[in-house]
Structure 1
Amino acid sequence: MRFFLLIAVLWCGVVLGGWAVAGDKWPGVDEAVVEKIAREQGRGARTPLINTDQGDLLLFVFLAAGAVGGFAAGYWWRMLIAEKRGERQGRVASRRGGS
């Protein structure tokens, strides 16, 4: 019985939570704070220098950044991973009296 009651309460929370859409009654920080202070200071909104909202430009920027980061990690893989592991093994061997 407790299990059924718990499931019913959770289900009602999910269903009723779907009805409470934020919409216009809960403005974000940008609208509530930043834009308000900017208007008070006489600085209105302006278009960005590089508008990433058009097409797939933002997707391309993330793709290019991932490719550059992947290339750098692959190029310096030995320095990032292999040498650190080798240094640790060397330290352990020297503590044990090995070569």
Structure 2
Amino acid sequence: MRHLLCGIVLSVALLTGRSDAVEKWQGLDEAVVQKIAAEQGRNAREPLVSLEGDLQLFAFLLAGAVGGFMAGYYWRVLLEGKKQSSK
């Protein structure tokens, strides 16, 4: 019961401060990249693959999981190179 109460209080504290942080802190794209691009006369373009919201995060998660699985599966080949087969 005590853990549940602590979790609720912590969640409320984090969620109430979120709206202030969004207004104060801009992302890297808005603060730096778009500013420098505008100074150089370049306009923003639409992305090649347009994913919105959580779908974009899920795509990055899936790509990272697939890449991590492949790196783990081929770990020895990546570090030692191909082994020569003896005849």
Q: Same fold (TM over 0.5)?
A: no
Q: Which has the higher contact order (CA 8 A, sep 6+)?
A: 2
The interval holding the TM-score normalised by the smaller chain is: 0.3 to 0.5
TM-score, length of structure 2 as denominator length: 0.45
Which structure has the greater CA radius of gyration? 1
